[in-house]
C-alpha cells in the first residue's frame, strides 16, 4: 500500500516526493537554475567537511537518493529515509534555499512552489521499480528529449553509465535486473503506458 500520510515517516521507508511551481509556473529557467537546485540537494544528501558554505547541513547519511528528475515546472525525488529525521527537513532546506535564490535572481516575490510538497509512502517493491521508470521517463513523455540519456537533469544517465550530476543509490533498483540494458528496456516499455496514462496509479499524477 502506498499512502500520503506524512506522519508515517520512519527510517528504512521509501518516499516519492514531488511538487510543482505555484500556479503551474516554471521553477527552472536555464541550466544554472537546475545546477543550483542539484547543488543544494547534493550538499544536504552528501555533506562534506570541506564545504565552504555556511548553511547548516543535515547529518551525513540521513537520506539516500534512489532516483530524481527535475522538469521545467516540477520535480520528482525518490528517497529512502535512513534516520529519525523526517523528509520534510530535507525538502525544506533544499526548496527554501532554492526559492530564495530564484526570487533574487529574477527579482520575484512570493511562493515559488505550489502549497506543501506531495509525499507518497512506497511500501511495495513492484511499485518502487515502476516509480523509478515513471520518474526517468518524464522528459521523454513531455517531449523534451527523444533519448532519455540525453537529459541532463535526471538520474537516468547515472543509472546507465555511473556518471551524472548527482550520485544515486541506484543499486536498490538495478540489483533486481540481470544488467543495465534490462532495466533500460523496462523504462522504454513503460513509456507508452506512461504517455497515455494507462495503468498509471492515480497518485503519480500531479494534481
List phi, psi (to 5°) of 20.
-135, 175
**How far does the chain reach from its first CA to its final CA, in angstroms?**
20
pLDDT in the model for residue 193 = 78
Query: pLDDT grade, residue 183 (50/70/90)?
Result: very high
Checking if the pLDDT of 65 tops 80, the result is: yes
> Please, are residues 68 and 78 in contact by the beta-carbon 8 Å criterion?
yes
Residue with cell 543509472: 159
CA angle 97, 4, 195 (to 5 degrees): 85
pLDDT in the model for residue 191 = 80
Checking if the pLDDT of 157 tops 90, the result is: yes
The radius of gyration of the chain from alpha carbons, rounded to an integer in Å, stands at: 16
Residue with cell 534490462: 182
| 4-30 per-position pLDDT tens digit | 445 567 899 999 999 999 998 999 999
List phi, psi (to 5°) of 11.
-55, 140
Percent of the chain surpassing pLDDT 70: 87
Query: pLDDT grade, residue 1 (50/70/90)?
Result: very low
Q: How far, in Å, CA of 191 to CA of 148, rounded? A: 11
CATH topology of domain 6-202: Alpha-Beta Plaits (3.30.70)
pLDDT in the model for residue 146 = 94
pLDDT in the model for residue 197 = 66
Distances (CA, A) of 2 to 36, 64, 103, 119: 31, 19, 34, 10
Checking if the pLDDT of 57 tops 80, the result is: no
Query: pLDDT grade, residue 185 (50/70/90)?
Result: very high
Percent of the chain surpassing pLDDT 90: 74
Of the listed ranges 51-60, 91-100, 142-151, the least confidently predicted one is 51-60
Q: Per-residue pLDDT averaged across 142-158, rounded?
A: 96
pLDDT in the model for residue 140 = 95
Q: Per-residue pLDDT averaged across 139-162, rounded?
A: 96
Checking if the pLDDT of 92 tops 60, the result is: yes
Query: pLDDT grade, residue 53 (50/70/90)?
Result: low
Amino acid at each position: 500500500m502506498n499512502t500520503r500520510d506524512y506522519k508515517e515517516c520512519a527510517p528504512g521507508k521509501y518516499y516519492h516526493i514531488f511538487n510543482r511551481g505555484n500556479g503551474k509556473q516554471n521553477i527552472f529557467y536555464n541550466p544554472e537554475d537546475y545546477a543550483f537546485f542539484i547543488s543544494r540537494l547534493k550538499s544536504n544528501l552528501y555533506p562534506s567537511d570541506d564545504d565552504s558554505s555556511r548553511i547548516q547541513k543535515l547529518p551525513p547519511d540521513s537520506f539516500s537518493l534512489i532516483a530524481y528528475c527535475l522538469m521545467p515546472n516540477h520535480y520528482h525525488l525518490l528517497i529512502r529515509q535512513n534516520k529519525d529525521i523526517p523528509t520534510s527537513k530535507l525538502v525544506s532546506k533544499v526548496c527554501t534555499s532554492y526559492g530564495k535564490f530564484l526570487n533574487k535572481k529574477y527579482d520575484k516575490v512570493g511562493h515559488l512552489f505550489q502549497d506543501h510538497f506531495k509525499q507518497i509512502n512506497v511500501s511495495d517493491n513492484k511499485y518502487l521499480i515502476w516509480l523509478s521508470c515513471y520518474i526517468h521517463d518524464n522528459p521523454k513523455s513531455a517531449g523534451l528529449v527523444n533519448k532519455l540519456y540525453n537529459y541532463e537533469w535526471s538520474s537516468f544517465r547515472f543509472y546507465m553509465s555511473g556518471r551524472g550530476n548527482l550520485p544515486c543509490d541506484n543499486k536498490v533498483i538495478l540489483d533486481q535486473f540481470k544488467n543495465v540494458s534490462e532495466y533500460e528496456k523496462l523504462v522504454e516499455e513503460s513509456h507508452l503506458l506512461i504517455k497515455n496514462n494507462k495503468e498509471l496509479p492515480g497518485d503519480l499524477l500531479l494534481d
